Amino acid sequence: MEIILLKDVRSGKRRLGNIGDIVKVANGYARYLFSKGMACFATQAARAEVEVRRAELEKQAADELRLAQVQGEKLAGLTLKISQKAGMSGVLFGSVTKDMIVKSLKDQGFTVEKSKVSIPEGLLKRVGDHTVQIELHADVVVDLSVSVLGEAA
């Protein structure tokens, strides 16, 4: 299906396209992009409208990028401290989840969606310092330090 991108879109680690690009994608992926407001059908009327609105859309995308960069600078030096019950060997009873990280960030005054948090090791199951990634924008990914503290069981 041919669609017009209304935002810069990254699919996995590769870039699908920029604002105003006409790309071919699978029907299911197109529906996903439509629901997020990132694309529209590639009709003649839509093509003409996007050309007219291209400057406005690019300015909006640049503003979003700038806000993400500012938030990224604030997050870059932050270390989250999360306490969790642990055994004598430092293995947690349970794990530190994305929800816990998002809640801790919210307590610090940052709003981040759970889907934007990436834990490279999968789950944090040990006491110690770990690094997680926060994707604030397609072009802004911040490494965040999470210090997991063990509590006596």
Closest C-alpha among 44, 43, 46 to residue 6? 46
Up-side HSE of residue 82: CA atoms within 13 Å toward CB? 32
Closest C-alpha among 22, 53, 55, 26 to residue 39? 22
Question: One digit per residue, pLDDT tens: the chain, 153 residues?
Answer: 999 998 888 766 678 888 888 999 999 999 999 999 999 999 999 888 888 887 887 888 889 899 999 999 988 888 999 998 988 888 888 888 899 999 999 998 888 988 889 888 777 888 999 999 998 887 888 999 999 998 876
What counts of helices (H) and strands (E) characterise the chain? 3, 11
Closest C-alpha among 70, 67, 81, 64 to residue 9? 64
